[in-house]
């Protein structure tokens, strides 16, 4: 994979971010960890904004965001017009978010997903291509 994967989390997603970071590194995927760097409480909108700025300046990139449920951080990320963040809790959701919505950011909940399922979701998200066609017209309307 040529794309750089940006990772960011708040304290609720920190442990899962660290697990996924190791998974990506072990699979020789280029990453940049934007924080947070501990379990100390931080505000998820700050990390969503930081990741959004990285995505904007690196057209050929993806982002992975983590918070307790994935809800707050995905909402914060989707405030930016160049971000299409998908909160996924299944492999099927990850697949459809890429095929049909051309999602460029995946949000995961550190307090609701197992590590193994999270790895499967990340794998699917990073390895599924956008189908374009009729979906491209819809994505352009976002």
Packed helices 115-127 and 14-26: angle between N→C axes, nearest 10 degrees: 60
* Catalytic residue (one of 11, 82, 88, 100): 100
| Known active-site residue 36 | no
Tell me how crowded residue 138 is: count the other CB atoms within 10 A of its CB.
12
Sign of the Cα torsion 36, 28, 80, 59 reads positive
* Catalytic residue (one of 36, 67, 82, 135): 67
| Known active-site residue 67 | yes
Tell me how crowded residue 89 is: count the other CB atoms within 10 A of its CB.
17
Q: Which residues are catalytic?
A: 67, 100
């Amino acid at each position: 994979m040529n794309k750089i994967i940006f990772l960011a989390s708040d304290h609720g997603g920190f442990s899962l971010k660290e697990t996924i970071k190791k998974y990506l590194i072990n699979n020789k995927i280029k990453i940049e960890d934007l924080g947070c760097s501990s379990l100390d409480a931080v505000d998820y909108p700050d990390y969503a904004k930081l990741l959004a700025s990285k995505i904007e300046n690196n057209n050929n990139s993806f982002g992975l965001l983590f918070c307790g449920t994935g809800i707050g951080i995905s909402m914060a990320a989707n405030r930016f017009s160049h971000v299409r963040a998908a909160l996924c809790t299944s492999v099927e959701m990850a697949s459809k978010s890429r095929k049909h919505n051309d999602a460029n950011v995946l949000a995961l909940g550190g307090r609701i997903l197992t590590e193994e399922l999270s790895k499967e979701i990340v794998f699917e998200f990073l390895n599924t291509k956008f189908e374009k066609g009729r979906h491209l017209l819809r994505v352009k309307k976002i």
